[in-house]
Chains A and B, each alone.
Chain A
């Protein structure tokens, strides 16, 4: 059982404040889609609107081709995993898992079979008679997922499910949720503010900011071809470096940086106009040291053994991060010259923030 999800100009307003400003999105069935964005971008609200727990102020939501605007949450065939797990504290794990099945009048034997199956799959069969307060964070998370899985929904919704776990457990659970998706093949929507989670789990990522969809696409598309400054800065860790400058009045391929240096841009690939104010973006791992034009004053160096990060500043004050594989000899206080291969630079219109890529 699978279903595609279609959002058409979906809006949400609380009083006069519009928090979701018209989102169009189409999630094919069986996809693992991640909504990512900084806190307050409306990603959780959007998820709750899809679930039916929050009503929508405008537009249409269709699940499996059927518009569900007027259908209550219970009848949309979805299951949701909440950030706080939201397990029923007074029920045992077994009762937590079977509550949903009881509500749709599943026969007792069937409930026992399904609960047993799901418990084995999630390795919580030893915990069935415990109460949520006697479980660890990771175990509660599994129970919460189990409660969603046991009802065999068309679509799974995850609302920041891993944010209450410690770092190590988070990596494990990430892998398990991805494995769950491969095994069940259901459509899943996953909300997170962590771009690493988004990159590692998603088939498609929707980057949201201030209630607007900034970009929707496959993780590597977003990484390689960010549509605007926000996505460029949000996706990828450490952040992309930005240096502002102005295109030469005569020669379109000459870029005068605010630091005073001049760079030559590739002939093709960008649609910059002469005299336009632009922002140059280079990922830390694409920075090359020693062969570039941009002078960077080193402020600190992180040696991780297998790789190193150099943090510095251009003469105009823009922060620069350089990633270099292996160990580095660069010391604090030195001035280094950095650059980037032609194919690895990004160019954005400084005023609109949009990418100037023209292919």
Chain B
């Protein structure tokens, strides 16, 4: 904790702050603001009611108008503070509003109806989190199902991808065979073909294989990525061949060399690829949109999309779900980010 504090308050040294300190902190603060403000705004907005979201000018914190139950009325009545006119300083509950006039009652004396101009009052508001945005996700919308679909696709696709890509990379980096370079160039060459070009043929294949509207239809086509093969191959090239020779002399089978030697030694590169794969799969939208048409197969991203209607958008639910969708990926990043720097630094060879 003290180390963190020391890091955050590091200066150039000396008793007074140097102008470079001011400049660096100004730069860093701007960066933090630019990065975090939209996210924080999103989180704040996700706790606002639909009415609060429509308010202009918008407020940073979520506010809700206070209400009160008054005898003789079934619904809670909104409270207003009077700022002018006859009843200035009183807190009244509104019965109904008609044009520029409103019918109010004093909660202490519910029998008498008061008539006031609407410019003479301001709503009584308090900071309140609209948690119903979140609870509704679990009740009204099948959030858990979408979450499960997304998780299943992400985990399975990442595992399959790591397995196939690392095996391909092992062969391409450690075995000598005729056509090795050609295969590698083919793999890298596919990087140059945009996904949109192969979208239709891929769709036909997936349909032909009976994977349309199945989660596997999303998992399988994304399992092999040229980026992954290339990244892992470059890393595996740095593993000395003598270690493999030593393992062969130790009577290890080729599978065992892959599983016990190559995989553990490639851990940093595999971690990087795992992070990338999780992000790709979790945030994937276009392909799932094409393959998955039934709502029980929807991923979170597709569900988010379905909130956005042609005529009406359910903003409060949309924002709450966006926050929940962001959380897992933010977690993955928080725990694995140290591998990204070390992994990428060491894939460049030595």
A residues lining the B interface (CB < 8 Å): 48, 51, 53, 72-75, 78-80, 82-84, 86-90, 99-100, 103-104, 147, 151
Using A82-B246, A83-B242 as known contacts, say yes or no to A90 and B265 having CB atoms under 8 A apart.
yes
Q: Is the CB of A151 within 8 A of B250?
A: yes
For chain B, residues 251 to 269, give those with C-beta under 8 angstroms from any C-beta of chain A: 251-253, 256, 260-261, 264-265, 267
Contact, CB under 8 Å: A90 / B250: no
In the complex, which residue of chain A has the Cβ closest to the Cβ of B267? Answer: A90
* Distance, CA A73 to CA B250, complexed state (A): 9
Residues of B near A78 (CB, < 8 A) are 249
Contact between chains at B245 and A82 (CB < 8 Å): yes
Q: Please, which residues of chain A bring their CB within 8 A of the CB of B13? A: none
- Specify which chain A residues have a CB less than 8 angstroms from the CB of B338 in the assembled complex: none
Excluding A73-B245, A73-B248, A100-B252, 10 further A-B contacts by CB distance (< 8 Å) are: A74-B251, A75-B251, A80-B249, A84-B242, A86-B242, A88-B243, A89-B243, A90-B264, A100-B249, A104-B251
Cβ of A83: which chain B residues have Cβ within 8 Å of it?
242
- Tell me if B247 is interfacial: C-beta within 8 Å of chain A: yes
Are the CB atoms of B250 and A99 closer together than 8 Å? yes
- Complex CA distance for A261 and B106, rounded to whole angstroms: 136
A-chain residues with CB within 8 Å of residue B243 when the two chains form the complex: 86-89
B201 at the interface (CB under 8 A from A): no
Residues of B within 8 A of A (CB): 240, 242-243, 245-253, 256, 260-261, 264-265, 267
Cα distance, A241 to B243, chains bound together (Å): 43
Complex A-B, nearest 8 residue pairs according to Cβ-Cβ distance, in ascending order: A100-B250, A86-B242, A86-B246, A74-B251, A103-B251, A90-B264, A82-B242, A86-B243
Partner of A89, one of B247, B249, B265: B265
Cβ–Cβ < 8 Å partners of B247 in chain A: 88, 99
Cβ distance B30 to chain A, nearest Cβ, rounded Å = 42
Q: Which residue of B lies closest to A73 (CB)?
A: B248
Complex CA distance for A145 and B246, rounded to whole angstroms: 12
The residues of A that contact B265 with a CB separation of less than 8 Å are 89-90
B245 touches A53 (CB 8 A): yes
Residues of chain A contacted by B246 (CB below 8 angstroms): 80, 82, 86-88, 147
Would you mind naming 6 contact pairs between A and B with Cβ atoms under 8 Å apart? A72-B248, A74-B248, A88-B246, A89-B265, A103-B253, A147-B246
Given A88-B247, A89-B265, A90-B264, residue A99 in contact with residue B252 (CB < 8 A): yes
Q: How far is the CB of A330 from chain B (nearest CB, A)?
A: 49
Q: How far is the CA of A135 from the CA of B26 in the complex (A)?
A: 47
Closest A residue to B261 by beta carbon equals: A88
CB contacts (< 8 Å) of B252 on chain A: these are 74, 99-100, 103
Output the least CB separation between A233 and chain B (Å): 31
**A53 engages B248 (CB within 8 Å):** yes
Return chain B residues, CB-CB under 8 Å to A84.
240, 242
Q: Is B249 touching A74 in the complex (CB atoms < 8 A)?
A: yes
Across the interface, name the chain A residue whose C-beta is closest to B253: A103
A200–B237 alpha-carbon span in the complex (Å): 38
Which residues of chain A have C-beta atoms less than 8 A from B245's C-beta? 48, 53, 73, 80, 82, 86
Complex: how many Å from CA A88 to CA B249? 13
Which residues of the other chain, B, contact A103 by a CB distance below 8 angstroms? 250-253, 256
Q: How far is the CA of A103 from the CA of B251 in the complex (A)?
A: 6
Q: How far is the CB of B253 from chain A (nearest CB, A)?
A: 8
Q: With A86-B240, A89-B265, A90-B264 as given contacts, are A53 and B249 in contact (CB-CB < 8 Å)?
A: yes
Identify the interface centre among A73, A75, A99: most chain B CB within 10 Å of its CB: A99
Closest A residue to B246 using CB positions: A86
| Residue in chain B with minimal CB distance to A84 | B242
Q: Determine the chain B residues whose CB is within 8 A of the CB of A80 once the complex forms.
A: 245-246, 249
* Other-chain contact of A79, B240, B249, B253 (Cβ < 8 Å): B249
Complex alpha-carbon distance, A73 and B246, angstroms: 10
Assuming the contacts A86-B243, A88-B243, A103-B256, asked whether A51 and B264 have C-beta atoms less than 8 A apart, the reply is: no
The chain A residue sitting closest to B260, CB to CB, is A99
A324–B240 Cα distance when bound, in Å, is 47
Bound CA–CA A87/B252 (angstroms): 14
Chain B, Cβ-Cβ closest to A103 = B251
